[in-house]
Chain A
Amino acid sequence: MNNIFFVLFVFNLHSQSENKLEIYNKLINELRCLVCQNQSIAESNAPFAVDIKNIIKEKINNGESESQIKNFLVDRYSDFILYDPPINVETIFLWFAPFIILIFLVLRVFFSKK
């Protein structure tokens, strides 16, 4: 039943605009379903994922931009809802630790050769 509704509504979006559909598909694949973690909103049929899909649909049809919709969800569900974590104080170590370790190892190899 959910699937029929989903297909109908994708067709509806499709007829309205290619661009809206693209934003929709991009967003639902980039967002995490909080109740069925390790699945994106697109992959999940959990009630939460269906709600979020409906909100995204509504907001796209109201002309809101991709970043506005993301901010709306992050304000309520934290960065955890994004599969691509933003660079901020909490994640800076996550982003740059590999480079720091790499530099350390390069220096280590370089100095041990002399």
Chain B
Amino acid sequence: MLKKINFLFIPLLLFCFFCIILYRGLFNDPKVVSSPLLGKQVPNISYPVLNQAIGEINIKDIDGPYLINIFASWCLPCVEELPVLINEKNKKRVKIIGVNYKDDPVNANNWLATYGNPYDVVLFDKDGMKSIDLGVYGVPETFFIDTNKIIKDKKIGVLDAKFVSDNL
């Protein structure tokens, strides 16, 4: 009799185990793919500067801490997160590097003039191919680079006010 009762617990335990796993799964966003670049040195990528015909900036040459924010004028969530970036700009805790992604420079300039420009410098990735070395697959994406030039964190989607504070 006792032995039978013991075995009855096993399906119940399994049921609870799967419930927990599936319940947790409800809150996983499959669109957010964790980057294998976290904890690694920022890669060598030389971008041209928006509105400048000559010269490139290598993101590895920028002193940390800084943010790399991937944005485009055709991207609606980028407008949504812009107040967070402008607020961060006023606090002057980190440099903010913008990477204008798969965009038209005219549209990008209009966008910055309309909604505000939080960036210390705006780099330009016309076809998005350079940003592949950062593992970018959409906009907006934001990277936090620390003083040792290590990629400390990455936010896929709309930036929240906590992102910078949590990483400083």
Contacts and interface: CB of A to CB of B under 8 A. Distances in A.
Interface of A: 34-35, 37, 47-48, 51, 54-55, 74-78, 80
B30 interface: yes
Interface of B: 30-31, 33-37, 102, 127-129, 132-135, 137-138
A80 B33 contact: yes
Contact of A35 (B37, B102, B137): B137
B125 to A, nearest CB: 11
Contacts of A75: 36-37
A47 B34 contact: no
Contacts of A35: 31, 137-138
The B interface is mostly helix, strand or loop, or mixed, namely loop
Contact of A48 (B36, B37, B133, B137): B137
Given A48-B137, A80-B34, 20 more contacts: A34-B33, A34-B137, A34-B138, A35-B137, A35-B138, A37-B31, A47-B102, A51-B129, A51-B132, A54-B129, A74-B36, A75-B36, A76-B37, A76-B132, A76-B133, A77-B135, A77-B137, A78-B33, A78-B35, A78-B135
Contacts of A54: 129
Shortest 7 CB-CB distances between A and B: which pairs?
Answer: A76-B135, A78-B36, A34-B137, A80-B33, A48-B137, A77-B135, A35-B138
A37 B137 contact: no
A34 B135 CA distance: 11
A77 B36 contact: yes
Contacts of A78: 33-36, 135
B34 to A, nearest CB: 6
